[in-house]
Structure formats: C-alpha cells, structure tokens
Structure 1
C-alpha cells in the first residue's frame, strides 16, 4: 500500500487563483433562497465581530492605539466565522470578477449573486441588531457599549461621500486579500492566523466595510433611540446611513474587483497559446 503524502504548505498564488475561481462558479449555482440564507448568516457573523469590537473599544482605560488594534482583532471573529463555517459575504464575492474575466461565469450570474447576497447580508445584520437590542447588550459597562455604538456610527456618517468611497476601496483591498489567504490555507488554524492582520489592520485604519456598517449604523441609531450617547445622537439619520452604505458598497466593489480580483487574474492568467 502506497504512503499518502500530505502537503501542509499553503497553495501557491496560481493555485489560490484557481480555488477562488472554482468557488465563484459554485456561488453562481446556488439557488436564490440558499444564497440569501447563507448571506444572512454572513451578515450576522460580521455583526457579531462588530459587536465584539464595540465591547472591547468601550473600555475607557485603553489608549487610542491599543484600543484600535484590540478592537480590530476582536472584529476578526466575523470573517473567521464566514470563512470557516461557510457563508456568502458581499465584499468577498467581489473576487468573482476574476471568474468573469476568465469567462467562467456571466455578467447576469455575477450580478444576480451580488444583489441577493447584499440584501441577505443586510437582513442578517438587521436581525442581529434586533436581537442585540432586545438582549439589553447595549447597557453593558454601565451603558458605555451603547454610547460607543452611537459614537462609532456618528464617526461613519460624518465624512463626505467621496472620503467614504475611498475608504471603501482601501477596506476591500485588505478584506479580499484576507479571503485569498483563507483560500490558500490548508487548515482552520492557517485560515484564522492568516486573516488576523489584514482584517485587524483595516479596522484599526478606519476603513469602511459595507457589511460591517449594516450592523454598526443601525445599532448606533437604535442605541441613540434607547437614550445612549445623547450628545451625538442627532447626527444619526436614515439618509446619512444610506449615504454611507452607498459609498462603502461602491468603494468595496472597486477595491475588490479592480484591484484584487482583476489584478491577480492578470498576474496568474495563462497566455493564449497555453490556454488550449
């Protein structure tokens, strides 16, 4: 009986590209209902990471730098759950653009997935916001968690649309690179360790992730209505929330598709003479 050789090395960039493309093809074959429910899970997972961030950063004893770093590490829980448990995340699905460039999927198939997953992520995030509000979680630390939720949300609706758009680009460059690291890993431990710094980094740097904001902004609004963070509550409005989500979403698409997906597709694509 021949010995089985187990390769513990990470996939090469070219092998990772193929794994990403195979996953993209699989995503287009999901039924609408399965894609939506899977996306709801992802929205909730990212929301849990965002809530973990709020709890960590509500500690007044932490100085600014350590607070951002530790909060970023806490937020990583969301993507860890998405990659290890399996769920449809809109920002990560930007990588499907490489399948499109390789003509492995069609425009309608990709856009259908994106629309279903975006709304599924939002539904999952809003469901979690409802449950968290009912659980009284915003009252933790003598209401500091609720106040932090309001302050975080206000900080996200205050910048101009263009600034938020650029922050969205920068965010999804790091998120999609983290997803590629996850695809290249051969074990759960590899996935977790590989995504920690890119995700903690984008959070600490203050970039904008549309799915995270589907939780951060509604929970901030709900917390303000519950009486937390009253000094800044007036800055939170539904039009402001929608403006942030539109800028972050479009920026995330550009960062994920143009920079990461198409960039690595160009680097790893086979010349036409070898493609037969």
Structure 2
C-alpha cells in the first residue's frame, strides 16, 4: 500500500480542486447526483443495521462503504468540494476564480440534493410498501432522527443552533480528512483504509453531514416525522452546510495547503 508523502498529496489536492472547478456543468451535475444517491443508500444501510442489531457502532463501522465507493468512482460531495476547489484559486491556477468556486458549489449542492432525494423517495416506498401501510421499524427510526435533529435543536434556541453548527464543523473536518486520505495511497486497499477511519468517527459521533441529511430529513418527512420543511432548512440543513464549509476548508484544506504546499521559510541557524 504505497504511501504518498504530504507534500505530494497536497499537490494532488490542489490539482483536484482545479479539475473540479473547470469541469463542465453536465459532468459536475452527474457526478454530484451519483454521490448524493450512493451516500444516501449508505445512510439507509447504516440506520437499518443499527436498528436491526440494536448497536449503533456496527452501523458506523459499515457506513463508510458508501463513501469509499463514491470516491473510488470519482463522484463529488459538497463537503469535498468545499475543501478542495478554493485551493485552485489560492494557488492562482489559470481560469480559477471565486465566481467559479461558487458556481461549482451550487451545482454540486443541487446534484447531491437530487440524488439524495431520489433515494429518500425510494426508501420511503420500501419502508411503507408503497405508502400503503405505516412505516416499519427503520422508517420510524428515520422519522425520529429528523425530529431530534431539528426541533430538538430548536428547543435549545441559540445554544441549539451553536451546537448544530459545531457538529457541522466537526463533521467536515473528519469527512474532508477522508477525502484527502484517499490521496495518501496509490492502492485501492490503502485508499479504503484511509477513508474508513475518519468517516466512521463522524457517523458514530452524530456529527451533521449536509448530504446525509438531504436523505434523512426528506425521508423523515415522508415517513411521518413530526417536524416541518422549514424546521429542516432552518434548524438543520442551512447551518449544517455553513458548518461543513468552515470545518473542511479551515481544518483540512487551508491547514494542509499552508504547511505542506506554501510552507513558511526555514529558520536560519544561529
């Protein structure tokens, strides 16, 4: 499992950011759609495992399979482009602009949401036999997750909003570490192991991931969760997106770029 040293994989990060920034609208949307759909399936799988075994740790151990699959296939999550794409502008790559960055983020958000929503509808149909009966145990669990992580935060007011935002920050610190970890090895097994560790941490700790929530909360609404669309947007999705942006760019993208790519001058020997 060949290890790639930090100075080399950070160069790969900047190159990846440039590639994603200059990608066509069609390809950006397709890759984002598939990423959102696969991650949503992984979330449904992890919740199912947790409910059926009664052990959330097992669900967290298995959830990373979806993340690994989508990144090995070259698909894009909003959390990853938050971290990588701005590096192309900071490095003054040809054609890289902040307008292009916001265009990329918007397209990936829309693609991820469409993919996750597709799976949310599919799983809601499965959990209710085509909406012909009450949700099964997994469907009920998803509805309760939606309640606890919207109105549950709202009940604490500003403190709840702060907690939500920080969970979003910590989430993309871990998720973007997983994105970068895929660049630390040249073998499939090495990439998979590198991605597995931080993704497992974020899922088990209950941190807030904007794309996972694009599945959990719309499906929760379809499955009878006692919260509203505005609860979801104001008390989860929007603060989570902002937290994910801050966490990934600050604690992963900028730190690695500044210390391994644009390193400070060495100290002179006295």
What TM-score results when the alignment is normalised by the length of structure 1?
A: 0.86
Q: Does the aligned pair in 2 maintain the 1:69–1:204 contact within 8 Å? A: yes
2:237 maps to which of 242, 245, 257: 245
Q: How far is the alpha carbon of 1:271 from its aligned partner?
A: 5.4
Counterpart of 1:53 (choices 46, 53, 73) is 46
Contact 1:57 1:148 in 2 (8 A): no
CA positional deviation for 1:137: 3.5
Hey, what does 1:12 align to over in structure 2?
5
Structure 1 pair 273–162 and aligned structure 2 pair: CA distance change class (3 A): closer
108, 111, 133: which one aligns with 1:117: 108
**Contact 1:68-1:203 within 8 A present in 2 as well:** no
Question: Matched residue pairs, number?
Answer: 251
Which of the residues 250, 259, 268 maps onto 1:267? 259
- 1:74 CA drift (Å): 2.3
- Counterpart contact for 2:50–2:57, Cα < 8 Å: no
Question: Which of 96, 99, 108 is matched with 1:108 structurally?
Answer: 99
Change in Cα spacing, 1:76 to 1:271, as seen in structure 2 (3 Å) is closer
* Cα contact 1:101–1:265 (8 A) shared by 2: no
**Where does 1:62-211 land on structure 2 (aligned, <5 Å)?**
62=54, 67-95=55-83, 96-104=85-93, 105-134=96-125, 136-137=126-127, 143-157=136-150, 158-159=152-153, 160-211=160-211
Whole-Å separation in 2 of the counterparts to 1:207 and 1:253: 14
Query: Contact 1:173 / 1:256 at 8 angstroms: preserved in 2?
Result: yes
Map of 1:4 onto structure 2 = none
Consecutive unaligned residues in structure 2, runs of 5 or more = 130-134, 154-159
- 1:29-48 to 2 correspondences below 5 Å: 29-48=22-41
1:258 to 232, 250, 263: 250
Worse-superposed segment, 35-44 or 193-202: 193-202
Q: Distance in 1 between matches of 2:240 and 2:75?
A: 20
**Which residue in the other structure is 1:230 paired with?**
none
Partner SS state of residue 183, structure 1: coil
**What are the superposed Cα offsets for residues 160-185 of structure 1, whole Å, 9 maximum, x if unpaired?**
22211110000000001111101112
Q: Deviations over 1:16-53 (max 9, x none)?
A: 10111111111112111211111000100110111011
Kept in 1, the 8 Å contact 2:184–2:194? The answer is no
Give the Cα separation in 2 of the matches to 1:52 and 1:150.
Answer: 15
C-alpha deviation, 1:133, in angstroms: 2.4
> Is this contact kept in 1: 2:11–2:261, CA < 8 A?
no
Paired position in structure 2 for 1:25? 18
